[in-house]
Structure 1
Amino acid sequence: MTLKLGVLALLKAKPGSENELAAFLEGGSKIVADEPATRTWYAFQIDDHTYGIFDTFEDEASRQEHLNGKIPAALSKVGDSLLADAPDIRLTTILATKNDSY
């Protein structure tokens, strides 16, 4: 498996909606479980108001499938109530990886 591409989404919670956004992100792992082409998926918190998602893919078709899939659709439904700003979505190219088995 060669992971070549990624998506980084940075999300800023509206004041008072931090816990709801965190819960939404925690539930996201169930949604992407049905996306075999999404090789890794991480939801994380940076500070009190800033959260993120990082996913990895083997090819552009897989990345586009994800970008047109259930997570972005679900985020668009709750975005107005949970997010202070539009998500900052960045397409990334993976230069190197280290993968240890857990």
Structure 2
Amino acid sequence: MRTVIHLASIYAIFDTFAGEEGRQAHLTGEIAKALMENAPDLLGVSPQIGKLDILVSVVRPIRGAGNTAGVTKLRLLIQAKPEKVDAVRDFLKNAVPLVEAEPVTPYWYAVEFPGTNTFGIVDFFPDDAGRNAHVAGTVAAALFGSAEELLIGAPDLVKLDIIAAKV
């Protein structure tokens, strides 16, 4: 899956691969070469390429996924208390049935930033109504309800605009 996201003057690409071989082929491929060649003219800073560990995911393709019209995305970052890293990891893994019960959440990824106590959720919706239903749903209620116990600070929730996607 490839999604290009725009947030103010920050752009991000969220790619997923079946394995490391596919990731490496992509990073050494034509798209990456073109980005790096044009980066000095297009970007204020050099691209930062990071690797996330996908803990769990829910993937149910949206009909007409090649068309990004109306597709919205959320990005949530959370920082676990050092003694609660395992509990946050377990919480995210155990959230899958709750997400699967939401027909308006076709793509949901729980990720971990290796070597840190930072986690994230990246999810996609067919429209704002789906996004709003998810934010008002059981996963969000459970996470925000346990934030004081598990997290350092409040979850950082941001709605992002998708400008291109390949699923």
Common fold: TM-score over 0.5: yes
Q: Tell me, in whole angstroms, the C-alpha distance in 2 between the residues paired with 1:28 and 1:93.
A: 25
Number of equivalences:
99
Q: 2:134 aligns to what?
A: 66
Equivalent residues in 2 for 1:1-80, closer than 5 Å: 1=63, 2=65, 3=68, 4-47=71-114, 48-80=116-148
- Gaps of at least 5 residues in structure 2 are 1-62
Letter in 1 for 2:101: D
Q: Distance in 2 between matches of 1:5 and 1:51?
A: 20
- 2:97 maps to a residue whose letter is K
**RCO greater where, 1 or 2, for CA within 8 Å and sep 6 or more?**
1
Structure 1: gaps (5+ residues): none
Matched-pair contact (CA < 8 Å) for 2:144–2:155: no
Task: Give the CA RMSD over aligned residues.
Answer: 1.1
Letter paired with 1:30: P
| Residue-by-residue CA offset, 1:34-73 (whole Å, 9 max, x unaligned) | 0011110000001321000011011111110111001110
| Cα displacement (A) at 1:30 | 1.1
- Structure 1 residue runs of 4 or more that deviate by more than 3 Å after TM superposition: none
Larger CA Rg, structure 1 vs 2: 2
Instruction: State, as a whole percentage, how many aligned pairs show the same letter.
Output: 34
Q: In the aligned structure 2, how far is the partner of 1:96 from the partner of 1:23?
A: 32
CA contact (8 A) 2:111 2:120 kept: yes
